Amino acid sequence: MKNPQLNKHGELQHLLTTEGLPAAIMRDILDRAATFLDAGGHEIKKVPLLHGKSVFNVFFENSTRTRTTFEIAAKRLSADVVNLNIGSSSTSKGETLLDTVGNLCAMHADMFVVRHAQSGAAHFIARHVAPDVHVINAGDGRHAHPTQALLDMFTIRHYKKEFHNLRVAIIGDVLHSRVARSQIHALTTLGVPEVRVIAPKTLLPTMVENLGVHVYHDMVQGLREVDVVLMLRLQNERMAGALLPSAQEYFKYYGLTQEKLALAKSDAIVMHPGPMNRGIEIDSSVADGAHSVILSQVTFGIAVRMAVMSMLAGKAQ
Ligand code: CP
């Protein structure tokens, strides 16, 4: 079946999901992102690669990190950036998603960055735009959040250098998490030999093993000797009914504390996509501690998003 995010030359046309995204393209994105960072990995260059292009940020769901870092990334690439405020747009008057996008295309949008509560929204838009317009999925329902996963891969490679020798644990609300799904596809594609998921049964999708992960319900077992700890946010807004006894109970069994982290390797890194619920998913002493690389993830996200946008803009027609 044709991959909807690749063009006829096998190049990236849209970035919709890490599922089925070739390893060579993922590595190209990570390598390209590295060129936008200084040697220390914290200063980001301004380059003219998207000069004259218009990037439209269309966020139907709230965001701090993704929307802002896409805006910074587009500006560092010298693009013109338009942030559509959905709350005050004509969507609130009943305009359809496609009519909104069609009108933005008439304003000469070259690229859309889309976040939507409905899984498949970015794919839907990608199917309806002209061939010279690109769509980046900035998170759709519980389905995919590919740039989050790619910035996570960049962060892991920055600190651990290789993927082939790692044991990685993903902890928390896997069931509702687009981040977890995109991370699992990216980690397995890049050759991580052991990906674990640690969660209560109520927060795991059925048949999650089919994604190539090892399932644990106990942090004490699951955290042993891991190199990378990927925490997830409890997606309360996507939970129908009570899947957990209480936040306190959740923290007791699945919150990351110093004591539990001591079960991982002594040089393990701790990551979280944000926003964090301190004292529920993660203790503040861990979130702000020596193993945490959570704020580096945010900075690297700018470079990774620059890499994705410049790759899309530079592809053959
Ligand atoms: N990680 C992430 O998607 O954060 P935001 O919701 O703030 O964009």
- The residue to mutate among 69, 148, 237, having the most atoms of ligand 1 within 8 angstroms of its beta carbon, is 148
Q: Do residue 101 and residue 191 come from a single domain?
A: no
Strand order in the sheet with 214-216: 214-216, 194-198, 167-171, 228-231, 269-271
7 found inside a domain: no
Residue 317 has pLDDT above 50, yes or no: no
Q: Residue length, the chain?
A: 317
Are 123 and 262 part of one and the same domain? no
Among protein residues, the one whose CA lies closest to atom 6 of ligand 1: 63
0.85 cut: is pTM over it?
yes
Specify the pLDDT at position 241: 62
Within this chain, do residues 157 and 124 fall inside the same structural domain, yes or no? no
**Pocket of ligand 1 from Cβ distances under 6 Å:** 63-66, 139, 148, 273-275
Cβ-based neighbours of 202, under 8 Å, separated by 6 or more: 175, 243, 244
Together in a domain, 99 and 133 = yes
Domain identity same for 86 and 222: no
Measuring from atom 3 of ligand 1, which residue has the nearest CA? Answer: 66
Which atom number of ligand 1 is nearest to the Cα of residue 62? 6
**Residue at 16 is within a domain:** no
The string of pLDDT tens digits covering residues 111-148 is: 999 999 999 999 999 999 999 999 999 999 999 999 99
Mutate to test the pocket of ligand 1, among 57, 60, 63, 233 (most ligand atoms within 8 A of CB): 63
Closest ligand 1 atom to Cα of 274: 1
Which of 65, 234, 276 is the pocket-test mutation for ligand 1 (most atoms within 8 Å of CB)? Answer: 65
**Domain shared by 108 and 152, yes or no:** no
Q: How confident is the model at residue 188 (pLDDT cuts 50, 70, 90)?
A: very high
Residue 4 lies in a domain: no
316 — pLDDT class (breaks 50, 70, 90): very low
For residues 154 and 188, membership in a common domain is answered with yes
Please tell me the total count of domains within the chain: 2
Residue 1 has pLDDT above 70, yes or no: no
- 157: domain range? 146-294
Q: Sign of the CA dihedral 42, 45, 46, 50?
A: negative
For the CA of 273, the closest atom of ligand 1 is: 1
| Same domain for 282 and 159 | yes
> Residue 212 falls within a domain, yes or no?
yes
CATH number at residue 66: 3.40.50.1370
- Expressed in angstroms and rounded, the spacing between residue 8 Cα and the centre of ligand 1 is 32
Domain-embedded: residue 1: no
Does some domain include residue 191?
Answer: yes
Within this chain, do residues 277 and 252 fall inside the same structural domain, yes or no? yes
The residues annotated as belonging to the active site are 65-66, 93, 115, 145
One domain, residues 70 and 130: yes
> How far is ligand 1, taken at its centre, from the CA of residue 140, in Å?
12
Mean of pLDDT over the chain: 94
The position carrying tokens 């389905």 is: 143
Question: Is 67 inside any structural domain?
Answer: yes
Tell me: do 127 and 155 sit in the same domain. Answer: no
C-alpha pair distances (Å), 48 with each of 38, 54, 73: 17, 13, 12
Claim to verify: residue 62 and residue 32 sit in the same structural domain: yes
